[in-house]
Structure 1
Amino acid sequence: MPSPDSPPDRPPGGHVLLAPDRFKGSLTAPEVARHLASGLRRARPEVPIVELPVADGGDGTAEAAIAAGWRRVEVEVRGPTGRPVTASLALDGRDAVVEVAEASGLRRLPGGKPRPLSATSLGTGQLLAHALRLGARRIVLGVGGAACTDGGAGLVQGLGGRLLDALGKELPPGGAALRSLHRLDLRGMPDLTGVRVIVAGEPEGTLLGRNGSAVGQARRRGASREEIRLLDAGLRRWADLAEAASRTSARDLPGAGAAGGVGFAALTFLGATLEPGIALMLDLLGFPAKARGARLVVTGEGTLDAASLRGKAPVGVARAAARAGAPVVAAVGRRGLTGEQARKARFQAVYALTDIEPDAARCMRQAGPLLEQLTVAIADEWLPPPRHAARPRPANPEGPS
């Protein structure tokens, strides 16, 4: 029997919109979209397909914009340990997408070795400076996947600011060094008149305290208990002097703790605003227009669970698809939602790789081929061949039957 939120009939000629996020550790969002498209083209070659990889402000945000047609701009910047890295930003006219993970992310750590005390957001500031030189006047700053806990001090340095100790010497990089901060010299910072900076993320996490950048996040970046104490002391000193210099108070604002405190620096020195990442990105990527008239929307990520309900990309896609009147299903690596949770999140069905391959390690290694195999079940349920006049039977939201 159809569920209360079963989708309306769709015209047989409607397209399928593929709007997945990445499968962390396995596939980027564009790769997920390509595998889904490959499987669906084999199963239903007559169905038009539109690929629109998405992101919610975390790792892969710039790539999602580039996949949607924005121009890739590569620039050499300093990575989280100070080594040069080639990082990308996305540009579309006077709009730019800059991503913390591209320049200052965990994946940029040499050998994956954490540097909790000295990792810097300098390269992110350099990316922002480059976007400004290219004429960007609206900059979206994605703040997921950071390796640093420096309160965005490195970002300020990358934009031309100077952080000085009591002897007038430039501070070394990283959050721990901020305990010796004595003075800020902001004369080299760019004029941001007419520039709008938007932090793409969820409004949670302050700079200091239990949920702050050091206490709440630094352990995930490899910090010990003693190192967390040092980082928190450095961030407190940084907040005192930064707020005095800028005549603002941002340390307690939700989102100030994003990306190890990069959110704080953006709010304090760039006049940034904070917006939910997936909603902002879907608007920038033109999702509403692409979803209009879609026969089906397919989204997904590596793990769809309760954490996904807090602003992650697939749930944002499902809600936006519902507003466009399109049915939406998810193709994921592992399903951690109940049927009721999936329905409330606006998914008509959730299909998981673990439904066809119980070995989680193999799902990680073979995610691409398994996704293509999974599309057979999606096609059978939602894309009947042209000779079938009947509407497809609604799928069980807990997975394919």
Structure 2
Amino acid sequence: MSAGPAGAAGEGAARRIVVAPDSFKGTVDAAGAAAAIARGWLAERPGDDLVLRPMADGGEGTIDAFAAAVPGAERVPVTVSGPVAGAPEVATAWLRLPDGTGVVELAATSGLHLVDPLRPEDAHTVGFGQAIVAALEAGVERLLLGLGGSASTDGGAGALTAMAAQFVDESGRPVDPGSRGLDQLARVDLTGLPPLPPRGALILGDVTNPLLGPTGAAAVFGPQKGADAETIPLLEHRLERLVALVPDGARLAAADGAGAAGGTGFGLLAWGAEMGAGSRLVADAIGLADATARADLVITGEGRYDGQSEAGKAPTEVARLAREAGVPVALVAGAITAEPAGFEASVALTALAGSSAAAMVDPVAWLEAAGRALARTQG
């Protein structure tokens, strides 16, 4: 995206600005956020060269990022079960890359935005597993499995059930999908799972949390899925029950990223998938390092910058690449609740708008305002 000759700028020479935000979940996708920030910047400095590189970290928007970055990528439609019993089926897609890789995104199949009202004890990942099966049946040679933005805390049991694992009660009947069903869990049989594709399956995680404990799936991510103080211990207890019945469960539960997507990381590790850094893989796919190396400033962002943001989220990876290139980096976030260390500047939409509620009314307008504010201070 170029805005014209250098002479069109205000004061100073034209600059090259890379805009690489993640999605502002539930409000604006990554491409829309990048475009809005760029429009705001160009309103102040119309002669600058704006390079847009929408980011993702394995959560919402991961398929979009790969689709935009990889020539020949093909969306393959698939219809899967909704993330709660009785919910409508979800018409979505997985992505086939020219090298035989399939990209499957949990947020697109079993995501938080697909459940209203939230049902933390009943939401499940069955649809995600169905999409994985569809990709395997299509003959993919490798899988990239994007985790993040899930509605459930089922430890990945729903996904594995869709892949032909068995989770049964004392009488041998399948337990209900979702966290609540794990209360009745008596036996786990993973022998029916399909083999991994020839080049394996890599989990694109956006966090490094383990499955259990104070930094685990229930304690940290349960509240965003609707769990209150009484529900969180129930979610934790059910995950503990699952771990006790899964082969090598204790070791897998302690792995970095096992707690991703309500413990779906744990379930995929039990299948044999390997954990990877989602934001780093997406950055490689979109050529972010090269774009950053030739920039004067990099702008990144996400919906909420908090204590989890340093653990593999997209802005952290963008900032790392910028620092390695010796390029300053600025942060735009809907809300900032942790110290944004390492950023030259930061702008919170809530601060610009006066409140979270006001920012949510028209987030695109406030993203443009953030772009203008950064152009005035960093341009």
Q: Which TM-score band (shorter chain)?
A: 0.7 to 0.9
The equivalent residue for 1:125 is 129
2:292 is equivalent to residue 291 of structure 1: yes
Q: Measured at CA, do residues 323 and 133 of structure 1 come closer, stay the same or move farther in structure 2, by a change above 3 Å? A: farther
1:1-400 equivalent positions in 2, closer than 5 A: 15-69=16-70, 70-82=73-85, 83=87, 84-93=89-98, 94-109=100-115, 112-186=116-190, 188-201=192-205, 204-223=208-227, 227-243=231-247, 249-269=251-271, 271-336=272-337, 342=340, 344-345=341-342, 347-353=343-349, 356-383=352-379
Deviations 1:286-310 (A, max 9, x none): 2112223123322122344554334
Answer yes or no: is the 8 Å Cα contact 1:276–1:311 preserved in 2. yes
Shift, 1:226, TM fit: 6.0
Structure 2 counterpart SS, 1:250: helix
Contact 2:148 2:206 in 1 (8 A): no
User: 3-state DSSP class of the match of 1:90?
Assistant: strand
Q: Secondary structure at the match of 1:369?
A: helix
Distance 1:293 1:74 in 2: 37
Q: Aligned partners of 1:44, 1:102: CA distance in 2, in Å?
A: 36
- Shift of residue 96 of structure 1? 3.3
1:23 is aligned with what amino acid?
F
Question: Could you tell me how far 1:121 is from its partner in structure 2?
Answer: 0.9
* CA drift at 1:224: 5.5
Q: What secondary structure sits across from 1:330 in the alignment?
A: strand
TM-score for the superposition, normalised by structure 2: 0.82
CA-CA distance at 1:323 after TM superposition = 1.6
- Residue 335 (structure 1) shift: 4.5
- The answer to whether the 8 Å contact 1:202/1:275 transfers is no
> Structure 1 128/362 Cα, relative in aligned 2: closer, same or farther at 3 Å?
same
Structure 1 residue 220, shift from structure 2 partner: 4.2
In structure 1, what is the Cα distance between the partners aligned to 2:44 and 2:139? 45
Q: Distance in 1 between matches of 2:160 and 2:90?
A: 19
CA separation in 2, counterparts of 1:233 and 1:357? 41
| Structure 1 length-normalised TM | 0.78
CA RMSD of aligned residues (A): 3.1
Report the 3-state secondary structure (helix = DSSP H, G, I; strand = E; otherwise coil) of the residue aligned with 1:50.
strand
Question: Tell me, which stretches of 5 or more residues in structure 2 are unaligned?
Answer: 1-11
Between the aligned partners of 2:236 and 2:352, the Cα distance in structure 1 is: 46
Aligned AA (1:60): G
Cα separation, partners in 2 of 1:258 and 1:331, compared to 1, 3 Å: closer
2:309 maps to a residue whose letter is S
CA shift in 2, pair 1:64/1:153, >3 Å: same
2:8 match: none
Using the TM superposition, give the Cα deviation of residue 312 of structure 1 relative to its aligned residue in structure 2, in angstroms: 2.8
Alignment check: 8 A CA contact 2:140 2:197 kept: no
Name the CA shift for 1:257/1:330 in 2 (closer, same or farther; >3 Å).
Answer: closer
SS at match of 1:297: strand
Moved more, 233-242 or 282-291: 233-242
Change beyond 3 A, Cα 1:23–1:214: closer
Q: Could you tell me which amino acid in structure 2 is paired with residue 86 of structure 1? A: A
Listed one character per residue, the Cα deviations across residues 145-180 of structure 1 (whole Å, up to 9, x for unaligned) are 222122111111122223333433332212232343
Structure 2 CA distance for aligned equivalents of residues 208 and 378 of structure 1: 40
2:3 corresponds to which residue? none
Larger radius of gyration: 1
Inter-partner Cα distance in structure 2 for 1:88 and 1:154: 19
| 1:160 partner letter | A
Contact 1:72 1:91 in 2 (8 A): yes
List alignment gaps of at least 5 residues for structure 1. Answer: 1-10, 384-401
In 1, distance between residues paired with 2:315 and 2:196? 34
Structure 1 position 42, deviation (Å):
4.3
Change (3 A) 1:43 1:279: same
User: What amino acid sits opposite 2:259 in the alignment?
Assistant: G
Q: Distance in 1 between matches of 2:109 and 2:266?
A: 18
Give how far 1:133 is off.
Answer: 3.0
Change (3 A) 1:233 1:289: same
- Asked if the contact 2:36/2:371 (under 8 Å) is kept, the reply is no
